[in-house]
Amino acid sequence: MDTSSLATRFGSFRSASEASAFERWRASLVQFTGLGLSEEEQSKRDQVKGLEREEAQWRRCEAWKNDLMKNSPVVVFMLKHLALHRTNLTSAHVHCAPCDPTRAGGFSPDAGILLCQDRFMSKSHMQDTLVHEMVHVYDHARFKVDWSDLRHHACSEVGGFVHLDESGVDRVDSGGEFEWGLSVVERDAEGVYDVFKATSGVCSASGDPFGDGQPGV
């Protein structure tokens, strides 16, 4: 076959290989832009892109987490103090996962620490969140915290803020997009937030938040 001038609906090409290269480029462009796809193809493309984005976010979150747990002075400090209370927190207890827009992290005594892989603006933002949640782990290890008790939960939240203030860790200015909020509880749980405000004067570094004679965090 004479390939000196290969005609296609996109024009003439000098060779079959040139036409093939153009088709590959066109297919790549279609997948990148979504132009020319059917509704079904667009839906599949969006699903693939979403999975690729989640995987990239997870890999970044895991890399930052492991680096912080090895090299961040404040995170290493918290790990040492947790170990003093027989709590060996490892990277296996800190999970990266996508979250809703209302939170950056969370803590559950059963599941460990959650880091919201799609909510961090920087590694320092993740550091702040990780330390905040580690304070909850510390409270759980050292005190008899009843997480279903709003006052206990609120006091632990205050402890997280107090610790960050005293450790000199800079909080990231989110420009309103993110809020520290209450770690596991949604922002619409106004009851916890009301207790949080009402007890903020009591739950401090010199207070007795859990009523057991122990100092706050």
Checking 198-205 for CB contacts under 8 A at 24+ apart, the result is: 198/154, 199/151, 199/154, 199/155, 199/158, 200/154, 200/158, 202/155, 203/154, 203/155, 203/158, 203/159, 204/158, 204/162, 205/162, 205/166
Do the strands 6-8 and 94-97 form a parallel or antiparallel pair, or are they unpaired? unpaired
pTM for the complete prediction?
0.57
Instruction: Give the integer Cα–Cα distance in Å for 158 and 153.
Output: 9
CB neighbours of residue 36 within 10 Å: 11
Cβ-Cβ contacts under 8 Å for 53 (sequence gap 6 or more):
none
| pLDDT tens, N- to C-terminus, the chain (217 residues) | 454 554 545 455 455 565 566 556 556 655 556 666 677 767 776 676 767 888 999 999 999 999 999 999 989 988 998 898 888 999 999 999 999 888 889 888 888 999 999 999 899 999 989 988 988 888 888 777 666 666 655 666 655 554 444 444 333 333 333 333 334 333 333 443 444 444 444 454 434 444 444 433 3
- Distance, in Å, from the CA atom of 158 to the CA atom of 170, rounded to the nearest integer, reads 16
- Catalytic: which of 133, 177, 179, 186? 133
Identity (one letter) of the amino acid at 144? K
Known catalytic residue at 133:
yes
Tokens representing 105 are 């992290």
Pairing of strands 94-97, 112-116: parallel
28 backbone dihedrals φ, ψ, rounded to 5°: -65, -40
C-alpha distances (whole Å) from 96 to each of 64, 79, 152 are 10, 18, 26
